[in-house]
Amino acid sequence: MIRLSRRTFAAGSIAFIVIGIMHTYVHFAELAGDDLRARFLGIGPVALQGSAVSAWDLFQGISLLMGFFSTALGLILLAILIQVPRTHVPHWFISLTTCVILLAISIVGALFLSNFQLIGGLIGILCFGLPAYSFGRF
């Protein structure tokens, strides 16, 4: 069970890295397209801390930061896994905290984005839920 828990933890960590890199790549390759950009520009300026910012720039910034965040989180989780002896899983609190993040991603994805994010979030919860459950049991 420990080996399976460590593998799911590693898979979830690597998934965070891959998703983060893909998020970042989309911005530099401009895969969003002119139609999406035109829709955001049609919204007009958005007030942000006393400054007017275009909705497109705000979207780009938030999405790019999401890519950086996801990559960093995945790297941190992998570093934690590497530091734990092979006969153990990372502390349950790390896995549980990651599950809470993934639950939030699932809820926001289902409400505002797409079902794909809901599915990905639930798979991620399984990847990190098993190590949380396994901690101290085996």
Calpha distance 56→36 (Å, rounded)? 9
Calpha distance 93→65 (Å, rounded)? 25
Identity of the residue numbered 132: A
**pLDDT value at residue 125:** 93
> Which pLDDT tens digit goes with each residue over 5-54?
999 999 999 999 999 999 888 877 766 677 778 888 888 888 878 888 88
> Which pLDDT tens digit goes with each residue over 69-94?
999 999 999 999 999 999 888 999 99
Backbone angles phi, psi at 48, to 5 degrees: -140, 105
DSSP 8-state class, residue 54: E
| pLDDT grade for 135, boundaries at 50, 70 and 90 | confident
Calpha distance 132→9 (Å, rounded)? 10
**Model confidence, pTM:** 0.82
138 pLDDT above the threshold of 60: no
| pLDDT grade for 124, boundaries at 50, 70 and 90 | very high
**pLDDT value at residue 97:** 95
